[in-house]
Amino acid sequence: MTEIILMYTFLVALTAIILNIISNVATRLLTDVGRARRIRAEVRAFRKELRQAMLAKDKAKEEKLRKKEKQMMKLEMKVSTERMKPMLLFWIPFIIIYYLLASFIGGYNTIVAISPMPLPIIGTEIGLIWWYLISSLAFSAIITKLLGTSLD
């Protein structure tokens, strides 16, 4: 039984890694990551300047910046929308893969990993949904950095 659980542990983690890679490659191909980074930096600098003007109680500067605020929000919305394209494109295929994975291992309640210490909410026996979520989150930041799709 332990060997099967170990196999499921690696299978689910590998699936999460592969789907993360596919998603990040699609983001790289379908969006202008460099442009998104520039816009994000510009918006961040704008917000910092606005916050400083508010803290300094510089009403003239704050008023000037408030006029530019709508434009900054539009830019930020454009970047968010552009980054959503790959997710929308792969949403249904990823769900199908997840359902196939669940049916292969025997359902969503199948234990696919065992934690050496109890985890809050989850316990020691980790089911498919939790293990996929943990695996996906654990590798997502690494893959995003490696493929250069992070905005930071």
Q: How high is the pLDDT of residue 72?
A: 92
Q: How high is the pLDDT of residue 1?
A: 64
Q: How high is the pLDDT of residue 140?
A: 94
Which residue, among 98, 86, 90, 125, has the nearest Cα to 109 in the 3D structure?
A: 125
User: Residue 113: what are its φ and ψ, rounded to 5°?
Assistant: -155, 155
CA 11 to chain centre: 21
Return the bridge partners of 114, or none: 125
Domains of the chain, by residue range, sit at 2-146
For the chain, 152 residues long, give each residue's pLDDT as a single digit of tens: 688 999 999 999 999 999 999 999 999 999 999 999 999 999 999 999 999 988 998 888 888 888 899 999 999 999 889 888 888 888 999 999 999 999 999 988 899 999 999 999 889 999 999 999 999 999 999 999 999 998 87
The CA distances from residue 72 to 50, 82, 101, 141, in Å, are: 12, 15, 42, 26
Q: How high is the pLDDT of residue 143?
A: 96
